[in-house]
Structure 1
Amino acid sequence: MDERKRDSIVAYLQRRMAEFGITSEAIAASIAEDQRRLQAVKYRDASGNSWDGEGAAPQWVVQATSAGQSLDHFSVRRAEAPQSARQTGVDWRDDPFAGTRLATVKGEQLQAN
């Protein structure tokens, strides 16, 4: 982004903040609160629903655990595998296309189509 465009955007944002009475301190406090809230999240599903693990479990957690899913599956703080234990290759055992034509088509054939 060039300097002139950046300055224009900054000026626009400053005018809008003044128009609505928003201060830079309020924005900083809001960002800090958002970060605190994100750090408090312990469980999250694929749809973006989250739960901090305190109080009554939300409906999405109740439904998932009732269906047999482990609560650990939704944990956002899973223990990281040590760097040396991480796989460097691809694990093809869980490939949904294994044994199909899609699994045997070469990259050059895909680009030609």
Structure 2
Amino acid sequence: MDERKRDSIVAYLRRRMAELGIEPDDVAASIAADQARTRAARYRDASGNTWDGKGDTPQWVLQATSAGQSLEHFAIGGTPELESGKRASVDWGNDPFAGSRLATIKTARLGAA
């Protein structure tokens, strides 16, 4: 991003913050609250949705578990770090698409499309 474009965006944001009465401390507090909420989360999906494991189960968890995915798949920090240079092994036994058309499409057909 060039410097003029960045300065223009910063000026726009400052003007909108002033119009709405938002102080920089308000923004900092909101960011800190988001970070605390993220740290408290126990489960996260690929879209960034999180859940702390308490209260009603969110829709994204219900959909994933109904499709056959385990809740542990979404656990944050639940998997040990891999040693550098080693690839993770894949456990196809938990594949929610096993036996479906998605699992049986030949790659040659995909390339021809």
TM-score clears 0.5? yes
Counterpart-to-counterpart distance in 2, 1:48 and 1:3: 30
> In the alignment, residue 36 of structure 2 is paired with which amino acid?
R
Q: How does 1:31-42 map to 2 (within 5 A)?
A: 31-42=31-42
Counterparts of residues 1-113 of structure 1 (less than 5 Å): 1-46=1-46, 48-58=48-58, 60-61=60-61, 65=65, 69-84=69-84, 86-87=86-87, 96=103, 100-102=107-109
Alignment coverage as a number of residue pairs: 103
Question: Amino acid of the residue matched to residue 13 of structure 1?
Answer: L
TM-aligned CA deviation for residue 59 of structure 1: 5.2
Query: Over residues 51-109 of structure 1, what are the superposed CA-to-partner deviations in whole Å (9 max), with x where a residue is unaligned?
Result: 10223444554565567643212212222333247228x97x89x47865358x7xxxx
Identity value in percent: 57
Structure 1, unmatched stretches of 5+, are none
Unpaired segments ≥5 residues, structure 2: 96-102
**RMSD of aligned Cα (Å):** 3.8
Q: Would the alpha carbon gap of residues 18 and 100 (structure 1) be closer, same or farther in structure 2, given more than 3 Å must change?
A: closer
Q: Point out the structure with max Rg over C-alpha.
A: 1
